[in-house]
Amino acid sequence: MALAKSLLINGNARIEVANTDGWDFLLRIMIIVGLGLIVVASIEGEVFAPLVDALARHDWTTLMIRPSVLWVAMGLALLVFRTGLWLRYRPFPSATMDDAPRLTVIIPAYNEGVMVGKSIDSLAAAEYPRERLEIFVIDDGSTDDTWEHIQKAAVRHPGLITPVRFEKNRGKREALHTGFKQARGEIVITIDSDSVIEPATLLAMAGAFRNPKVGAVAGKVMVYNRRDGIIPRMLHVRFILSFDFLRAAQSTYGTVYCTPGALSAYRVSVIREVLGAWVTQRFLGVQVTYGEDRALTNYILERGYDSVYQRTGVVHTIVPTTYNKLCKMYLRWDRSYVREEIRFMRIVWKRPLKSLIIAGLDTLITNLRFPIAYLSIFLLVYLTFSDPETILRTLLAIGLMSLFYMLYYLRSERSFDMFYGVLYAYFAFFALTWVFPYALFTLRSRSWMTR
């Protein structure tokens, strides 16, 4: 009997699997064997010979001339390291209707229109005891019909929704702060107003807090509008890898670096300890206006609590459909990344030994790869003029590595959309490489740059 076959559902090519356990086992074996082959081929092909030779002779000049070798070596080491952790990841058991804790959900909204109503409806339809659930929806000074949709939703779900309206825009952080102060639950969940959850999500997110060490939980973010163009399709694959691979690996040592705004949960007692510092956060002398999710995660990690990933808590969120809006989103994310990485380098020393060692190594290798990667790109441009085949070899390497990454994607979602992940690798290389350096040199910017 064939393990898998092609199937077309609603215009979406998917892989129908007859034996899910067998498929999962096969993918694990393929990934492990694939990694082994890559390492062996690299050694046999003497790809790293210049690196080993230069290190043995303490020849740092050679390393500067051949940064691509160091970049590949670090990338491969990071991939092997994360794969080992990823294979160990298991989601937390969900809470039940009998033992579910009192829960507060906060939805900050700004000019979201009809989508905020869909977000509220998804929460109201979720599996959770109504007597232990409250939902705050904060209209952050919207200038469209967002408030009307919030009011209509409150009428549809009487006794469940508490609408709050700001007369003028104060920013997402202030909207969340208002909800945090009024929360009566033991656990608080934040959801973006352009996002809808799956029915089992609230119980799944609450379940992780049975572990008293857990202070923050990241949910799984998928793309709501994935059929609205090539960019959302590519982002869907990227999101799957970002959560079901990267955050799953981070969760095994209790240090998920960013619990996302689209869906995160926090222990209220911990939130109240850090609320004042978080809402007044400044960086380089400027009030911080974005990156509230990663900043809050850092404050919780600093308090000694773990941040983890819950794969069974799922949200579907709207993503940009145009290049311009995509770049604005990444600029916000990268500026927040730089700012909070600087903070995390001070925090990591306070983490338990296992987290300190693993998170420290992960952070060190990840951030060292940035300057080496951009140095490699400049060298690539230079070498292409003297040897045009250089760019062809680079493009082939990008394609092969992105195809390998799609094995991780296929374990989470058996869909031929995996090929959009390969396309994204090329798209990011040619169209998004400039974003991080620009973000680095504009860290003081306070602009939110809405979609």
Rounded to an integer, what distance in angstroms lies between the CA atom of residue 254 and that of residue 301?
9
What CATH number has the domain bearing residue 301?
3.90.550.10
Q: Domain span at residue 132?
A: 103-348
Residue found by looking up tokens 């959801």 in the block: 191
Residue 346 has pLDDT above 70, yes or no: yes
Separation of alpha carbons 279 and 439, rounded Å: 22
Please give the backbone phi and psi of residue 309, each rounded to the nearest 5 degrees, phi first: -115, 135
pTM for this prediction: 0.89
Would you say residue 133 lies in a domain? yes
pLDDT of amino acid 409: 95
DSSP for 370-403, please give it.
Answer: HHHHHHHHHHHHHHHHH-THHHHHHHHHHHHHHH
pLDDT at residue number 77: 85
What pLDDT does 449 receive? 56
Q: Please, which residues have CB within 8 angstroms of residue 371's CB and are 6 or more apart in sequence?
A: none
Which pLDDT value is given to residue 419? 95
Question: Can you name the residues that pair with 104 across neighbouring β-strands?
Answer: 134, 188
Residue 326 clears pLDDT 50, i.e. is over it:
yes
Is the residue at 60 inside a domain? no
Q: Please state, in angstroms and rounded to a whole number, the distance separating the CA atoms of residues 365 and 195.
A: 33
DSSP state of 93: P
In a domain, 323, yes or no: yes
Q: Does a structural domain hold residue 2?
A: no
Residue 354: in which H helix or E strand, if any?
A: helix 353-386
- Is residue 149 within 8 A of residue 113, CB to CB? The reply is yes
**DSSP category for residue 100:** P
* Radius of gyration of the chain, Cα coordinates, nearest whole angstrom: 23
Residue 444: per-residue pLDDT: 77
- pLDDT per residue over 163-185, tens digit each? 999 999 999 999 999 999 999 99
SS3 317: strand
Residue 4 Cα distances to 12, 15, 415, angstroms = 16, 6, 11
Residue 282 inside a domain? The answer is yes
Q: Which residue has the higher pLDDT, 110 or 72?
A: 110
**Does residue 48 belong to any structural domain of this protein?**
no
Domain count, the chain: 1
Q: pLDDT > 70: what percent of the chain?
A: 88
Q: Which helix (H) or strand (E) holds 101?
A: none
Q: Are strands 263-267 and 4-9 parallel, antiparallel or unpaired?
A: unpaired
Q: Indicate whether 356 belongs to any domain.
A: no
pLDDT at 11 over 50: no
Q: What is the pLDDT of residues 272-322, one digit of tens each?
A: 999 999 999 988 888 888 889 999 999 999 999 999 999 999 999 999 999
Phi, psi of 441 (to 5 degrees): -90, 0
Close Cβ partners of 434 (under 8 Å, ≥ 6 residues apart): none
Phi first, then psi, for residue 184 (nearest 5°) are -110, 0
What pLDDT sits at residue 285? 82
Per-residue pLDDT band at 108 (split at 50, 70, 90): very high
Q: Is residue 338 in some structural domain?
A: yes
